[in-house]
Every structure is written in structure tokens, then in C-alpha cells.
Amino acid sequence: MAEVDRIFAGSIPAFYDTLMVPLIFEAYAAATAELVAAASPRTVLETAAGSGAVTRALAPRLGSDTCYVVSDLNRPMLDYAATRQGLDARIGWRQTDALDLPFDDATFDVVFCQFGAMFFPDRVAGYAEARRVLKPGGRFVFSVWDRIEENAFADDVTRAVAEVFPHDPPRFVARTPHGYHDITQIRDDLNRAGFADIKIDTREEVSHAASARDAATAYCHGTPLRNEIEALDASLLQRATSCAAAMIASRHGNGPVAGKIQAHLIVAAR
């Protein structure tokens, strides 16, 4: 993974939360919150929390005496998430690296991570850390996107931006968010981290946006794809966004648009 893929700063957190979250994350946030809450946990750790989509979905489902630690490596995203959540005495906000957690062994009933494992530079190490801080019988819940061809708008945007940069196409979306989708590899990585009881559910949902332009803006301005485009030629950001919008409109129509999204939801027990 390129270092630029991990930079969520500047205006990206706001674009991410206002456009990307309703576009592709909210449906899976609800599903993840349901999986976590089903365990009736008293202690919960969320890693790679991003702008807090699951945090907002999960907090109302947890008991009043739950200790809920929300963490992310990226300080701007974590700060943005905290402003969206509001005051909640059960929640502690921590800037932490999922590969080097500052918690004692066997601390949490549930550790979960929505669409963050793809960004781990060493996934086995990240999974091993999650297992280390889980109590015996605890659950590690996480999700990753399926291959890009199963995710309509992501595929459209990637193809469109490649037309703007034919000699050096930005590949962030295919390389990182959709670059870790092989179920056999995921199981093997979890096994190597010490997990044996693993369940994987591949779930299809529908992505909605008010317009093709909104969907294109979400990807081109609300993810590190923006960093990659600007590193190549910042003056072409708007052109790339317009090309992506045109591609989405040509395949999904004008006005409100809808497209398939697909992801793997994984539960591994300690």
C-alpha cells in the first residue's frame, strides 16, 4: 500500500463523511453494529473508526455501563468523528495504531473494524493484536470490500480517472479499498494470527446518490484518490471528477443513481 493511501486530512474527512458514508458505508455500518451488539459486550474497541459511521450506529445499542473505546490512526478523522458523535461518557477517543494497541491482554469483549483492514501494512500483525486484547471467547468483527468489479461506482470512477491519466492512472480505489478481497487469503491471515473459528458472510447492498456528480465527488474528493490525482496534476482534479460523473451517468442514468456494492463481513472468535 502506498503511503499516500493512508492520508485522510484537509477537506477529505468532511467530504468522506457527508458523501462517502451515505453512499457506501451506512448500510454496512448498521450490519456491523448489529453483529457487535448481539454479543452484549461490556467492553468494546473500535479500530480504524474513520469519521464514526459505525460509532453512531452502535452507541445507541450498547448498555449504559459499556466501556467503548473508539480509535483511529488518523487524527483528523478521529477528531471529526468526535464532533459528529456528541458527548457520551461511555466513549473514549484514542489515536492508536491497530498494529500496536496500547491495551493490556484480554481487555475487550469485542474488537471491530469496518473497512479498515485493507489499510493495515501487516494484516496478520493487526489481527494478532486484535486477538491479544480480546478476552477468551471474545469476537473480532471486521469487514472488507469485495473485488472492485462487484462495486459499480468504484469501478466506474477508476475507469474514468484512468482516461484522464492514461499513462499513469491513479489506482487507489482498486489498489487499497478493493485490493484485499480474496476469502482464502483472509482466512489464511486470520489462521496465522491465531484465529480458528471464522465466519465470512459476503453481502450485497445497493449504493445510492442524489446524482452521478455526488457519487463522483465522493470518490474523487472524499478519499485518498484525491491525493493521488493532485500528486499527478492538481489542475486536473475537477476534470477527473467530471469524467467520473459522466461515466456514472452513462451507466446508471441522470438524476438519482443506484449501483451494486458488495463486501465481506467477518466474525472470528478467540
Cβ contacts of 192 within 8 Å, gap of 6 or more: 124, 127
Taking only the tens place, the pLDDT of each residue in 210-237 is 999 999 999 999 888 999 999 999 999 9
Ramachandran category for residue 67: left, alpha or beta (phi over 0 → left; psi -120 to 50 → alpha): beta
Give the integer Cα–Cα distance in Å for 221 and 230. 10
> What is this structure's pTM?
0.91
* Amino acid type, 25: F
Q: Please state which CATH class domain 3-269 belongs to.
A: alpha beta
Give the integer Cα–Cα distance in Å for 175 and 128. 23
Of 180, 159, 157, 168, nearest to 228 (Cα)?
168
Taking only the tens place, the pLDDT of each residue in 2-28 is 444 344 445 566 777 788 888 999 889
Report the pLDDT value the prediction gives residue 82, as an integer from 0 to 100.
92
Give the integer Cα–Cα distance in Å for 270 and 251. 44
Of 232, 140, 231, 216, nearest to 173 (Cα)?
216
The average confidence (pLDDT) of the chain is: 93
Report the pLDDT value the prediction gives residue 136, as an integer from 0 to 100.
97
Report the pLDDT value the prediction gives residue 225, as an integer from 0 to 100.
94
Per-residue pLDDT of the chain in tens (270 residues, 90 and over written 9)? 444 434 444 556 677 778 888 899 988 999 999 999 999 999 999 999 988 999 999 999 999 999 999 999 988 889 989 998 888 999 999 999 999 999 999 999 999 999 999 999 999 999 999 999 999 999 999 999 999 999 999 999 999 999 999 999 999 999 999 999 999 999 999 999 999 999 999 999 999 999 999 999 999 998 889 999 999 999 999 999 999 999 999 999 989 999 999 999 999 999
Burial of 197 (0-12, 13-18, 19+ CB in 10 A): exposed
* Amino acid type, 241: T
Give the integer Cα–Cα distance in Å for 94 and 213. 35
Report the pLDDT value the prediction gives residue 7, as an integer from 0 to 100.
45
Report the pLDDT value the prediction gives residue 17, as an integer from 0 to 100.
78
Burial of 122 (0-12, 13-18, 19+ CB in 10 A): exposed
Report the pLDDT value the prediction gives residue 12, as an integer from 0 to 100.
63
Q: Any idea where the domains of the chain sit in the sequence?
A: 3-269
Pinpoint the alpha helices (H) of 9-166.
12-15, 26-37, 53-58, 75-85, 123-133, 152-164
Of 35, 16, 34, nearest to 25 (Cα)?
16
Whole-number Cα distances in Å, 129 to 98, 124, 235, 242, 264: 7, 9, 42, 42, 21
